[in-house]
């Protein structure tokens, strides 16, 4: 591994999305103690060879093409993506892997067959502050906040990765805003990336995610830390005036952290209703059965299954649960009707 001892000009580096909350003036030195690094630590890397990820998402929410020789600042982190890579937050040699375009570096463990080799990185150093302490994004997370009783929380779960969860969550949030509610979007678990935040904001809804709570990803994070992040994100949304928060839980119901939340967690207990996303009719039925085992029932199902009229008809017949397309969820009339019995305090009526 190259011994890199000179702190480069920080403005010359490509800072990934996962680092966006870091106050760069705190960076004062370098460390080569990679064996002590933990998820969330900032890693200065040089691109060796461009592979699967040909771009990196930057802190200013744009993408940048990658070239061999580029110097980038990433977060050490774990990755869970059945359709892409699984990876661990370990740097164990002269080459590391770009596990996610939002800015996650680590060691690839498994890959989907359609994936190319991961983009290869040369880890140069960990970034440290003036006291020689490793800089971790956890120190820049939002201050802890509690969830007040009045805010209504709608959880969005899915059968799998790419089932249509984000589209369903964003569409519902947009519809609720059109219905006159003050709405916030929250991505409570997943891998740091700006696409979902942008999608909420494109729908006219402010949004935060787990990176705002100091986690680069939530895979292999202790459940109590994820729960604390959830509470902080919802608490801040409520303090900013949100009456309803639409909370997306990443990946599928069999993912480790998602399964733990469903089995028993303050997150599950605080949700006032669940919208489920499925890729097809079997996903709708299977997802409903998994939720049933946990004593839960979604008030509606959406996702890719609703793109096929025939598939949607099969799913409704199999589950007995109404299915709604993205266009329907984005309607103020439909969204308002779906959650009217879930609202804790309707400020519109109180006024």
pLDDT of residue 20: 97
- Give the pairing of strands 152-158 and 273-277: parallel
Q: How far separated are the first and last CA of the chain, in Å rounded?
A: 64
Side-chain-side CA neighbours of 203 within 13 Å: the count stands at 33
d(CA 204, CA 170): 9
Burial of 346 (0-12, 13-18, 19+ CB in 10 A): middle
pLDDT of residue 348: 65
Please state the domain extents for the chain. Answer: 10-136, 152-350
For residues 272 and 344, the answer to whether their CB atoms sit within 8 Å is yes
Angstrom distances, CA of residue 221 to CA of 120, 218, 235, 255, 269? 25, 5, 21, 13, 20
Task: Please give the radius of gyration of the chain, using alpha carbons only, rounded to the nearest integer.
Answer: 21
Which two three-digit tokens encode residue 308? 């096929």
Positions of E strands within 173-243: 183-187, 206-209
Contacts of 77 (CB under 8 A, 6+ apart): 18, 39, 40, 89, 99, 100, 104, 105, 106, 191, 192, 216, 217, 219
Q: Which CATH architecture has domain 152-350?
A: 3-Layer(aba) Sandwich (3.40)
For residues 4 and 44, the answer to whether their CB atoms sit within 8 Å is yes
Q: Which of 206, 201, 199 is nearest to 241 (CA)?
A: 206
**Ramachandran bin of 195, using left for φ above 0, alpha for ψ from -120 to 50, beta for the remaining angles:** alpha
Q: Which helix (H) or strand (E) holds 338?
A: helix 332-339
d(CA 57, CA 103): 7
Residues of the chain where predicted confidence (pLDDT) is lower than 70:
1-2, 347-351
- Phi then psi for 260, rounded to 5 degrees? -65, -40
pLDDT of residue 2: 65
pLDDT of residue 345: 82
Q: At what angle do helices 165-178 and 195-202 cross, to 10 degrees?
A: 30
Reduced to 3 states (helix: H, G, I; strand: E, B; else coil), residue 198 is helix
pLDDT tens per residue across span 283-331? 999 999 999 999 999 999 999 999 999 999 999 999 999 999 999 999 9
Q: Which of 101, 99, 103 is nearest to 85 (CA)?
A: 99
pLDDT of residue 140: 98
> What SS3 string covers 187-229?
ECCCECCCHHHHHHHHCCCEEEEHHHHCCCECCCCCHHHHHHH
Which two three-digit tokens encode residue 132? 């020689």
pLDDT of residue 347: 66
Residues in the chain: 351
pLDDT of residue 38: 98
pLDDT tens per residue across span 180-206? 999 999 999 999 999 999 999 999 999
């Amino acid at each position: 591994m190259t011994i890199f001892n000179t702190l480069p000009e920080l403005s010359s580096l490509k800072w990934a999305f996962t680092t966006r909350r870091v106050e760069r003036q705190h960076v004062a030195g370098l460390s080569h103690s990679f064996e002590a690094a933990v998820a969330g630590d900032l890693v200065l890397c040089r691109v060796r060879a461009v592979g699967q990820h040909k771009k990196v998402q930057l802190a200013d929410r744009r993408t940048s093409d990658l070239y061999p020789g580029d110097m980038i600042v990433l977060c050490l982190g774990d990755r869970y993506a059945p359709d892409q890579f699984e990876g661990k937050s370990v740097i164990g040699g002269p080459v590391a892997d770009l596990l996610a375009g939002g800015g996650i570096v680590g060691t690839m463990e498994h890959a989907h067959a359609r994936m190319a080799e991961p983009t290869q990185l040369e880890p140069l150093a960990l970034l440290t502050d003036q006291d020689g302490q490793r800089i971790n994004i956890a120190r820049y997370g939002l201050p802890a906040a509690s969830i007040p009783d009045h805010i209504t929380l709608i959880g969005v779960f899915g059968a799998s990765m790419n089932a249509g969860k984000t589209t369903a969550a964003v569409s519902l949030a947009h519809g609720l805003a059109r219905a006159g509610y003050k709405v916030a979007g929250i991505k409570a678990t997943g891998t740091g990336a700006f696409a979902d935040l942008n999608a909420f904001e494109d729908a006219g809804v402010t949004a935060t995610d787990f990176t705002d709570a100091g986690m680069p990803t939530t895979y292999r994070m202790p459940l109590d830390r994820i729960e604390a992040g959830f509470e902080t994100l919802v608490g801040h949304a409520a303090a900013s005036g949100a009456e309803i928060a639409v909370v997306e839980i990443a990946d599928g119901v069999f993912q480790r952290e998602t399964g733990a939340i469903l089995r028993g967690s303050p997150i599950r207990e605080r949700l006032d209703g669940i919208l489920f996303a499925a890729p097809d009719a079997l996903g709708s039925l299977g997802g409903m059965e998994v939720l049933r085992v946990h004593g839960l029932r979604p008030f509606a199902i959406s996702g890719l299954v609703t793109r096929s009229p025939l598939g949607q008809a099969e799913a409704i017949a199999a589950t007995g649960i109404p299915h709604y397309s993205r266009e329907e969820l984005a309607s103020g009339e439909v969204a308002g009707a779906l959650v009217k019995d879930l609202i804790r305090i309707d400020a519109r009526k109180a006024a």
